[in-house]
Structure 1
Amino acid sequence: MNEVVSVPFKRPAFNVKETHLNELYFPPSFLFGFSIAEHQNSGGISSNWTTWENSTWSNGTPHIQRGETSGISSDHWNRYPEDIANMKQDFNVNAFRFSIAWDRIEPEEGVFCEEALQHYSEEIDALLAVNIIPMVTLHHFVHPQWFEDMGAFEHEENIQYFVRFSQKVFEAFASKVPFWCTINEPTIYMFAGYLPLNCVFPPGKGSITSWPLAVRVLKNLLQAHTEIYHALKALPFGDTAKIGLVHQYLKFEGYSYNSIGILPGMMFNNLMNTSVLTFLKTGTFSYGFPCYYYETYTAPEGPLSDFIGLNYYSRALIEFKWSQLSPDASCMPGETMTDMPYAIYAQGLYDTIVEVAELGLPIYITENGIAAKETTDDTRRKMWFTEYLKATSLAVEDGYDVRGFFCWTLNDNFEWDMGYSMKFGLYSVEPETLHRTLKAGSSVYADIIKAARAGKLSTHTSDYLVGNTTQESSVQEL
């Protein structure tokens, strides 16, 4: 399995607000792009999520806030040429991560839709035509309803269906797609669908007694990743394809640093982060409570992943209360809140990169972005990308093997249980016409990419002669 590697330098705590955009460092090979999920941008056909959106809790309350459904969302399915043109012209990205909708490819068990496969072939060709590297995600929370009816990942014997789908897609596109993400955020799929603390995803089985089932689901997801990794490696182009797992590193911290306040965070971190990273490092997943339940899985000998996809947004603060144990929508003094229940906290991205680097795998930041209702100057979005890209740059310069940064996300879209309330996109989308409008806060990301692609950020920051040292300095001044 992967050995722990030493890295040359770990920077002490830093204040990204005191840094300047003309100090960034990104090598010429660095990937900049966007990440999307098909369902969030196009809706679905017959999936666990289309069923979930159109049903309610037992008390009649909609599963989705305000009773919204994905519909066709921003209609990326039909408007992908426009989206590709936008991100190339306005940002000059060189990579694009997107999911392939299993429910569209295999709407009935064992029946594959050639028209849907052809659609993705044409989209991939359109990306390659403008020198955008495709990165495919095989499972991004969504799967066909027939798979859900079988119990999905609750049963180990169902893994074979996901492997078969993955092989079908890989055989179709491996000659054109160099990067493959097996499963997006297995811990979030488990946490939001099977635990009682924030049960807002299908199948909505979270309860006080659901912990054994939740851990079994996580074990099966990691086993599915392993089986897909080896199955795809055995296919043509498998030896050159880069195949990895995408993990959201959501660190739980106590709002108050005392023994009672930090214990819940330790428990959640063990399940949500340590268990997955330990599996990728050692090949063994092991989690449970003695005399209650225990799940273990040991992967076959050999590599488990060619890279790690890291989704990082912020930390989750937990305030222990006897009547409640859940992350609060709060931040530490001096921090700025997003519209999601967490703050802008770029130091956490650097610290996470340091920890994940112990896997000895290349790191791609496969999701990072902010939900913020747009204002005239879009200050919070500018602040977010200034600080998080600075944290990424520092990690790269300090010797950590970070090879790409993918913004979440391109267009405002359907944000799962929150419906259309969370505005993560760098383009707003007019609901009636679906017209895309570039947001003011996108300028930071665009300027950094353009400067990096032009070779202006390929010199280590210690070699820069910094002229303008104000917080408003821009990469355009380089």
Structure 2
Amino acid sequence: MKKFPEHFLWGAATSAPQSEGHGSQNGKSPSTWDKWYELNPEKFQLNQGPEDTTKMYEYFKDDAKRMKEIHMNSFRTSIAWTRLLPDGQTVNSEAVTFYRHYFSELIANGVKPIINLFHFDMPWWLMEKGGWETRESVEAFAFYANTCFELFGDLVEQWTTFNEPMVHVECGYLYGYHYPAIHDLKKAVQVGFNTLMAHTMAVKSFKDGKYQGSIGIILNVSPCYPKSQSPEDLKAAEFADLLNTKSFLDPTVLGTIPAKLIDRLAENELLPDVAENDLELIKKNTVDFIGMNYYQPRRVQAPANVNKPAVSPADFYDHYDWPDKKINPYRGWEIYPEALYDVAMMIKNDYNNIAWYVSENGMGVAEEERFLDQTGMIQDDYRIEFMEEHLNQLHKGIEAGSNCFGYHSWTFIDCWSWLNGYKNRYGFYRLDLENDQRSLKKSGIWFKELIDRNGLI
């Protein structure tokens, strides 16, 4: 038996926009996702938009019981900024009632809520002013964060500011997968810095308010592996790591932005606008813990063609397609569990062994109905295998001294996934889109037994 630490957090994660539903109801204003779907529904898988999703707004009481039934002791979701503060200033009382009931129901079922503040759902009223491109977004987010701490601080012990901030930077400003879907490296850097400052001011608000509990951030970490040990490939890997991981990990944990990252940005005329006291504020407002989302590694090689100044990340590194990789064909993502051990060791050795947990890890598969058995249960052995392989590597890291306190799968119930809609399923529970019914998959039974043992056989 490979035992995990006592009081280890076993659970799952989702977000408000991907699970709540009622996207235009109950006083909620539109986010960029609501508006983008209104403007360009053809961009979305099977025209599946953000209005309904998993309807946790209606089913949270029953869903909390389902969590209890598979013995989950924790659950991470988010608050919708657009639901709580529809205009950025005025508190929506119905949203307060909903979230207080939601979080209380989780607690009543023995499920600890870990609450995140931003999961890609930029309010449309702020997007019209420039979104994360503008400094106004920093103050707006800090006000929203403090409102959450005041309203729900008696129910929530662990807060996180952002989920995968690098994703809304790259997907919105480099690769076209999130609104505004533009390609502008200079703007992307400014968006990243303003996001970092929004996080910093939220942490400052939490600490100044002396709220109970702890505050962190959730980052997507894809350890970077070079094609070879040549100086060129190693340089490409170093910068890929600086840009994609250390750009947020270093300032939020260590209080400093890597000097090498600043130098490379300066060389390429990409430095963001920075206010006078920003760096001091970053230094003083580091996090208590980190959430790490891990799905796949990043493999890179030296770029073949380089623009100077750079116009995209491809001017610093190219993707390398490792011929020996194991792949999830539904997402096109490499499956490499060993990287989770490398993450654990990175946190231990380079980041003061800060408390951390796996905040997302999971396997998306399309057309899971193919695996329904005669009883109507999906036999998702592939998901069990994926999680077992990753948990073995995580356990190895914990045994080596990494300070990991939990593991959350993505996700509890099949959820809506941005432009992909419901194409790929991730949940322990299957969602029937015809009637919103939830049904347990084989992986849910496996997860319950894993939790009961607090260990791997």
- TM exceeds 0.5? yes
Distance in 2 (alpha carbons) for counterparts of 1:442 and 1:184: 24
8 Å contact kept, 2:364–2:426: yes
**CA shift at 1:398, angstroms?**
1.6
Report whether the alignment pairs 1:166 with 2:145. yes
In structure 2, the partner of 1:29 is: 7
8 Å contact kept, 1:414–1:420: yes
In structure 1, the partner of 2:97 is: 118
Matches within 5 A, 1:196-275: 198-206=175-183, 210-236=184-210, 238=211, 240-254=212-226, 264-275=236-247
8 Å contact kept, 1:340–1:371: yes
Structure 1 residues 152 and 76, CA, compared in 2 at 3 Å: closer, same or farther? same
Structure 1 residues 420 and 363, CA, compared in 2 at 3 Å: closer, same or farther? same
Matches within 5 A, 1:305-320: 305-318=287-300
8 Å contact kept, 1:366–1:406: yes
Report whether the alignment pairs 1:351 with 2:353. no
In structure 2, the partner of 1:467 is: none
In structure 2, the partner of 1:14 is: none
Using CA pairs under 8 Å that are at least 6 residues apart, name the structure with larger relative contact order, 1 or 2: 1
In structure 2, the partner of 1:13 is: none
SS in 1 for 2:137: helix
State the TM-score, normalizing by the size of structure 2: 0.85
Amino acid at match of 2:248: V
Post-superposition CA distance 1:367-409 (Å, at most 9, x none)? 1111123335323201111111111222222211000111110
Report whether the alignment pairs 1:298 with 2:289. no
**CA shift at 1:27, angstroms?**
1.8
**CA shift at 1:257, angstroms?**
6.8
In structure 2, the partner of 1:400 is: 402
Q: 1:48 aligns with which of 26, 32, 41?
A: 32
Q: 2:16 aligns with which of 38, 42, 54?
A: 38
8 Å contact kept, 2:253–2:351: yes
Q: 2:420 aligns with which of 411, 418, 421?
A: 418
Higher helix share: 2
Deviates more, 1:38-47 or 1:159-168: 38-47
Distance in 2 (alpha carbons) for counterparts of 1:334 and 1:160: 44
8 Å contact kept, 1:101–1:143: no
Post-superposition CA distance 1:193-226 (Å, at most 9, x none)? 111xx320112122xxx11110111111111111
**CA shift at 1:188, angstroms?**
1.0
Amino acid at match of 2:118: H
Structure 1 residues 327 and 370, CA, compared in 2 at 3 Å: closer, same or farther? farther
Amino acid at match of 1:47: S
Amino acid at match of 2:380: D
SS in 2 for 1:284: coil
Distance in 1 (alpha carbons) for counterparts of 2:34 and 2:244: 26
Amino acid at match of 1:406: H
In structure 1, the partner of 2:27 is: none
SS in 1 for 2:43: coil
Structure 1 residues 293 and 331, CA, compared in 2 at 3 Å: closer, same or farther? closer
**CA shift at 1:331, angstroms?**
5.7
Structure 1 residues 320 and 432, CA, compared in 2 at 3 Å: closer, same or farther? farther
In structure 2, the partner of 1:73 is: 53
**CA shift at 1:284, angstroms?**
2.7
> How many residue pairs were aligned?
421
Amino acid at match of 1:438: L
Matches within 5 A, 1:100-139: 100-139=79-118
Amino acid at match of 1:284: T
Unpaired segments ≥5 residues, structure 2? 25-29, 306-312, 373-378
Matches within 5 A, 1:283-294: 283-285=255-257, 287=262, 288-290=265-267, 292-294=269-271
SS in 2 for 1:62: helix
**CA shift at 1:35, angstroms?**
0.6
Structure 1 residues 399 and 320, CA, compared in 2 at 3 Å: closer, same or farther? closer
Structure 1 residues 179 and 444, CA, compared in 2 at 3 Å: closer, same or farther? same
In structure 1, the partner of 2:387 is: 385
Q: Percent identity?
A: 25
SS in 1 for 2:33: helix
**CA shift at 1:70, angstroms?**
2.2
Structure 1 residues 230 and 64, CA, compared in 2 at 3 Å: closer, same or farther? same
Amino acid at match of 2:355: P
8 Å contact kept, 2:223–2:342: no
Unpaired segments ≥5 residues, structure 1? 1-21, 458-473
8 Å contact kept, 2:10–2:73: yes
Distance in 2 (alpha carbons) for counterparts of 1:35 and 1:27: 20
Structure 1 residues 262 and 420, CA, compared in 2 at 3 Å: closer, same or farther? farther
